[in-house]
Structure 1
Amino acid sequence: MSKTAVLPRCPANPASLAFGPDRPWLAPLAGYSDLPFRLLCREYGAAVCVTEMVSAKGLVYHSPGTGELLASLPEDQPLVVQLFGAEADFLRRAVAMLREAGYGWFDLNMGCSVPKVLRQGAGAAMLGDMKNSLAVARAMLEGAGPGRVGFKLRLGLDDARPVLPDLALRLEDLGAGWLTLHPRTARQGFGGAADWQALARLAPRLSLPLLASGDLFSAADGLRCLEQTGATGVMYARGAMHDPAIFAAHLALCRGEKPAQATPAVLRAMILRHMELARALCPGRAALWKMRSVVPRYVRALPGARALRQQLCRCTEWGELTEALENFLPAASR
């Protein structure tokens, strides 16, 4: 966007968000949870979706690409905008701009452990400065209103510097609407196992919704996490990235039903639908480049997936990609 660009308007601002064991959320996935992917996940049953992580400073300065991260449609509701940054003034200004454009729900990323985010003092680095973290949280809540901001947390920077339950309780006192906990430290990144017992210890201390994240690779994982932790709901990240139908499977298990089997025909229909949404909503040829990396994730468990990935990397037209898909799935089903 240029310096004079106007943010895309949010087409709706629902009065509430859905929380509960049968209301699974889609996590903010950098590079993945764009508008087409969010719509696909909603069709499978995602109750709430969160945007890709948006830089508060980039938004204020109208950095190129910010508008694409915020693009939405009436069907893409309720939508939560996830922001990151470590300066209260920029977060305050970013929320004000988004509110003016019609967005009503926000999340502050205090859990990202990617080095380039940590170097800015943002993401999980904020767990090392509770005073500033609370100042940023207060600025966002003042701009958005009580209950309209959630906070994504980790256990701390490392095992020697835990921040829970203190930080969670202070955010609740400030007026947080919900919390999401990925129960690993920033130093762990995505290594080791998520400490679901940390969720179980935190849940009874809170009166606001607590969403569980971390190691939810299947719907069965999600249901088991809910049973073991007492969390209000789950937020699927890598599980959804590999299979958007995880939401349908989650809802089926909540109803006591057996989830539909991921047959080649089912996978084909899902991929074609994603392609349709991407072609309609992504600018230029970006949709094609993205789908070349998306398709291998969806079929990764099938024989020949690696060869398909190599073939897709050479596709420069939609017809080539479609042909490769049509040739692969029948072969995988034999």
Structure 2
Amino acid sequence: MEEMGKADTHTHTDYSGFNRLGPLRFPESVLSPEGQVDRARREGLSVLCVTDHNEVAGGFIAQKYAKQFDDIDVIVGDEVMTDQGEVIGLWLTEKPKKFLSPEETCDIIHEQGGLCIAPHPFSVHVDGMQEKIFELPLEGFETINGGHPDPYSNMFSKRIMDLYPGRWAEFSGSDAHSLYTAGYNWTEFPGNSEEDFRKAILHRKTLAKGVPAPVLGQVQWSMEVVWGGQKLMYKALRRKLEPVPDNALVEKILSNTDLKNATGIAMGFIYLFPLTSMLATLLSTAYLKNHAKKAMKHIDERIAKIQKLIAEIDARNGKAIAESAEEVKNDLEAGKIVLEQRL
């Protein structure tokens, strides 16, 4: 039986910066790059992709740290925000600029020798590219995203993947910003090295495995980042927080006034109060179910529109290929005539 490796294709570290919820700002992750590597090894992963938001520094740190081990490879990636949603680049050498068009972003990734993946393409609550993915030169997209426990987002992605077998590689990424949301899902591939993994992507031999992390895990992650952010703000107040190159989270906290950091610490304690956390769990569950329920009503109609869109795209691409072939033929004929005249 062929050996199958396991890869987590979508993870975050404390180099992912911060996010905003209304007037509040909070860290995306407080897990170090080294911590992600240690976690991946404990779970028996053979490949780890570090894909921080709009940053590759954490990936390079994780890759350097992992070189001392012979049981895991780390791929440097980036979950890049385009002007129409997010795209993941893997095997990067430098970070792409954010807020470019998806087409420009994919070109930049491919020029580095990287591969392009669409994360959570049909998400009901974060920045997925939706139908835009069909117009892009993607190697694949996620059919399981660990941060989507709702009944729609991953299911619909899998439905589309199954309608077009072999067209894209399928991925299952934890989207883990925390240890609480890791280990529930992964991507399987023939082999056990990053070279094997890349080959499996290009030959469409990957398999999406596992299930999303539960809502409770997402809430535990939110509590972890609030507590971690509080500790960083407290260090800043004591003038003990040192700058870290390319770390947007530390940079932001150091740029805050003492009053803002003190307020952030106080607000954090309110969120960490057990009743508040329980309320967050209930509200999150209700929010996801409500949005998924609305999306479920239009599944058949949406699939029909997508099939029509892909047929139109394939027709355009086929015409472009035919025109290109005709141009080559004409160029060859012209060259043949010139050569005969010279002879």
What TM bracket, shorter-length normalisation?
0.3 to 0.5
Structure 1 length normalisation: TM-score?
0.37
Structure 2 length normalisation: TM-score?
0.36
Which structure is higher in strand share?
A: 2
